[in-house]
C-alpha cells in the first residue's frame, strides 16, 4: 500500500489487520515530512520521540488483543491553534511563541482517545486572522504543494498543505470566515465546516488571558482526503465537553445511503454582488449539468431574499464587536449592547430565511471562493480576478455567508483549472444535519472524483 497517500480509514484498517504496523506508518509520514516540508513549511512543530513511543505502544496493544478505537495507531498533525498537552501551541503569535499547554483541547483529547498518534502541529496565519494566506512572525509562510509560489489558503493553510502532500492522513481545521474551506479548495482536499456549536471551542487559541471573545460563527471541523474520513472524524470530535456551554447535545447520526436520483440540488454560480472568476463559475455550472444528467433535480434556484453584502458586512461588524469588547481602549466609540443585539437580530432573520430555503432543497452547490490559489502577496493587497482588481478580503465571501448563518458546508475537490490548480466546490446543507449533508457530498463525490495528489508527491 502507498502509506502516505492512504486515507485515514484505510490506514486504521490496515494497522488493525496487521498488514502494516503503527510504527511503520509513523515512520513513512515522518519521512514524507522530512522530504517535502523544507519546500512547504507546513509542519512547524514535531515530536517524533513521543510519537514513536505512542506507535510502539499501539503495536504492543494490538499484539495483546487490545483495540484503542477507530484511529488506533494512525498518526496525525493538528493545526497550531488547538491546545496540545506538552506540545507548544502558538497560533503564530509572538507572545505565545513558547507557550506549552498543560492539557489537551477536547478535540486533541478525543482524537487521542480514539487511538490517534499526534506527531506535530501545522502552520497558521497569525491569530487565525486571514482565510487566504498562512503567514506569521514565528514560522513564516506556508506554500501550496501544487505551486510553491502560491498560497495554500489560511488560516488552516499548513493543515491543507500537509494533507495534500501526504504528510498527514487528516487534520482538524478551524473556520470563522472560510478557514477550513478555502485551504481545502486551494489545496485539493476535502473539508467540513460543521454547524455552529457542534464541536467545542474549548482549548482553541489557548494561553491568552481573559474570557474568550469569539462565541459565535467560529467552527472546528475535519479535513481529509475522502468524505468517509470527514464523517468518521466529525463523529469523534463533535459533542458537548461540559465547558463550552454553547455546544448542543445533538447526536451524530449514521450517514444514510443517498442516490443522486433522490436529491434536490440548488446551485448558484455566485451570489449577488460577489465577484467570481469565470473558471469558478463554469465549474459549478458544469457540475450542475452533470448531476442533472445523472438523475438529480438541479436548478439555479431563487436564493433567499437576503442582502448578501449586508451579511458579510454584518459578519465583520459582529467580529469587531466581539473583539472590541476586550479592546475598549482602541475604540473611539465602544459597541453598545443595543448595537450588538440589533446585529444578532439581523443575523437571526438571515438564518431563518436560509432554513426556509433548505426546506425545499437538500443542498446548495456554489463556489467556496471567487478564485483558485493566487500567488503569495502582501495580505490585504488587491487580487486579480479575470484581469480586474478585487478587494483581497472578498476571497472568502462565498464561504463567510455560512459562518454568519451557522450552516454546515463541505468542500469537495473537483477539477484543475487552466493553471493546473485545484478547483473545489462548496455544498451547503440544513443546520444540525451533517449526516445528510455528508451523505449528499458522498453521492456528489462520485461525480467530482477522488483526491488527486499534487505533481511531484
List, by residue number, the catalytic residues: 79, 155, 179
| Beta carbons within 8 Å of 398's beta carbon, 6+ residues apart | 178, 270, 271, 274, 276, 366, 367, 368, 369, 370, 426
Please state the φ and ψ torsions of residue 132, each to the nearest 5 degrees: -110, -25
* Angle (CA) 228 128 375, round 5°: 85
User: 22 and 59 in contact (C-beta within 8 Å)?
Assistant: yes
Q: Is the peptide bond before 155 cis (omega within 30 degrees of 0)?
A: yes
Residue 56: DSSP 8-state: H
Q: What is the CA radius of gyration of the chain?
A: 21
Report the residue count for the chain: 457
Burial of 24 (0-12, 13-18, 19+ CB in 10 A): middle
Is the Cα dihedral 151, 376, 395, 90 positive or negative?
Answer: positive
Q: Can you say whether residue 270 is alpha, beta or left, with left for phi > 0 and alpha for psi between -120 and 50 degrees?
A: beta
In the structure grid, which three cell numbers stand for residue 446, read together? 462520485
Indicate the angle between helix axes 308-324 and 337-360, nearest 10 degrees.
140
Amino acid at each position: 500500500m502507498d502509506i502516505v497517500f492512504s486515507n485515514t480509514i484505510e490506514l486504521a484498517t490496515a494497522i488493525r489487520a496487521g498488514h502494516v504496523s503503527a510504527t511503520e506508518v509513523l515512520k513513512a509520514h515522518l519521512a514524507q515530512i522530512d522530504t517535502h516540508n523544507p519546500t512547504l513549511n507546513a509542519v512547524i512543530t514535531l515530536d517524533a520521540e513521543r510519537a514513536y513511543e505512542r506507535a510502539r505502544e499501539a503495536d504492543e496493544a494490538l499484539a495483546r488483543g487490545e483495540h484503542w478505537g477507530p484511529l488506533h495507531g494512525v498518526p496525525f498533525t493538528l493545526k497550531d491553534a488547538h491546545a496540545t498537552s506538552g506540545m507548544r501551541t502558538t497560533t503564530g503569535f509572538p507572545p505565545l511563541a513558547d507557550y506549552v499547554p498543560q492539557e489537551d483541547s477536547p478535540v486533541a483529547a478525543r482524537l487521542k482517545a480514539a487511538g490517534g498518534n499526534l506527531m506535530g502541529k501545522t502552520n497558521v496565519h497569525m491569530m487565525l486572522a486571514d482565510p487566504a494566506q498562512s503567514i506569521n512572525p514565528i514560522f513564516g509562510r506556508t506554500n501550496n504543494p501544487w505551486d510553491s509560489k502560491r498560497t495554500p489558503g489560511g488560516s488552516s493553510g499548513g493543515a491543507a498543505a500537509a494533507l495534500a502532500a501526504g504528510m498527514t492522513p487528516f487534520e482538524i481545521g478551524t473556520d470563522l470566515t472560510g478557514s477550513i474551506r478555502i485551504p481545502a479548495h486551494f489545496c485539493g482536499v476535502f473539508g467540513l465546516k460543521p454547524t455552529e456549536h457542534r464541536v467545542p471551542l474549548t482549548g482553541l487559541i489557548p494561553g491568552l488571558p481573559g474570557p474568550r471573545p469569539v462565541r459565535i460563527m467560529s467552527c472546528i471541523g475535519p479535513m481529509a482526503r475522502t468524505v468517509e474520513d470527514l464523517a468518521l472524524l466529525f463523529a469523534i470530535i463533535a459533542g458537548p465537553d461540559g465547558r463550552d456551554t454553547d455546544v448542543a447535545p445533538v447526536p451524530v447520526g449514521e450517514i444514510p445511503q443517498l442516490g443522486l436520483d433522490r436529491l434536490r440540488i440548488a446551485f448558484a454560480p455566485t451570489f449577488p454582488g460577489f465577484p467570481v472568476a469565470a473558471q469558478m463559475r463554469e465549474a459549478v455550472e458544469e457540475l450542475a449539468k452533470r448531476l442533472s444528467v445523472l438523475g438529480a433535480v438541479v436548478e439555479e434556484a431563487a436564493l433567499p431574499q437576503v442582502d448578501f453584502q449586508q451579511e458579510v458586512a454584518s459578519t465583520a461588524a459582529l467580529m469587531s464587536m466581539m473583539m472590541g469588547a476586550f479592546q475598549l481602549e482602541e475604540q473611539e466609540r465602544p459597541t453598545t449592547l443595543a448595537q450588538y443585539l440589533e446585529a444578532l437580530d439581523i443575523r437571526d432573520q438571515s438564518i431563518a430565511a436560509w432554513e426556509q430555503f433548505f426546506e425545499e432543497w437538500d443542498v446548495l452547490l456554489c463556489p467556496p471562493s471567487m478564485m483558485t490559489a493566487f500567488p503569495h502577496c502582501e495580505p490585504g493587497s488587491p487580487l486579480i480576478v479575470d484581469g480586474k482588481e478585487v478587494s483581497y478580503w472578498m476571497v472568502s465571501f462565498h464561504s463567510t455567508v455560512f459562518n454568519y448563518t451557522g450552516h454546515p458546508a463541505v468542500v469537495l475537490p473537483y477539477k484543475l483549472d487552466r493553471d493546473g490548480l485545484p478547483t473545489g466546490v462548496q455544498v451547503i446543507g440544513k443546520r444540525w444535519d451533517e449526516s445528510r449533508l455528508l451523505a449528499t457530498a458522498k453521492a456528489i463525490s462520485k461525480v467530482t472524483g477522488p483526491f488527486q495528489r499534487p505533481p511531484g508527491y
